[in-house]
């Protein structure tokens, strides 16, 4: 089976399940997969957008990761922006 066939099969099995989709640009979306197409564009319902923000810790020069979350409802994610998809 081709890589596209495996990815399509895994997405099909994940419909209705909660997923975390990591996107380009330090963003992620958490929600339920409603559907997808052959370009791997994905529709997510009950979505929460997570934006990773880098900050400096004033006590030392280590960088500290912070996250900002916001409810966005239903979203359509273009497949070329997806880095990874994890079933939660």
Going from N- to C-terminal start, the domains of the chain cover 3-87
Q: What is the pTM of this model?
A: 0.81
Are 41 and 79 within 8 A, CB to CB? yes
Distance of CA 44 to the CA centre of its chain: 9
Q: What is the mean pLDDT of the chain?
A: 89
Q: Confidence band (pLDDT; 50, 70, 90) for 26?
A: very high
Using DSSP's 3-state secondary structure scheme, residue 86 falls into strand
Q: Confidence band (pLDDT; 50, 70, 90) for 64?
A: low
In CATH, 3-87 is 2.30.30.100 = yes
């Amino acid at each position: 089976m081709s890589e596209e066939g495996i990815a399509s099969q895994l997405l099909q099995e994940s419909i209705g399940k909660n997923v975390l989709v990591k996107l380009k640009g330090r963003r992620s979306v958490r929600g339920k997969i409603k559907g997808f197409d052959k370009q791997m564009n994905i529709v997510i319902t009950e979505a929460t957008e997570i934006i990773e923000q880098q900050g400096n810790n004033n006590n030392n020069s280590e960088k500290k990761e912070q996250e900002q979350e916001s409810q966005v409802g239903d979203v359509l994610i273009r497949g070329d922006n997806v880095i990874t998809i994890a079933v939660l």
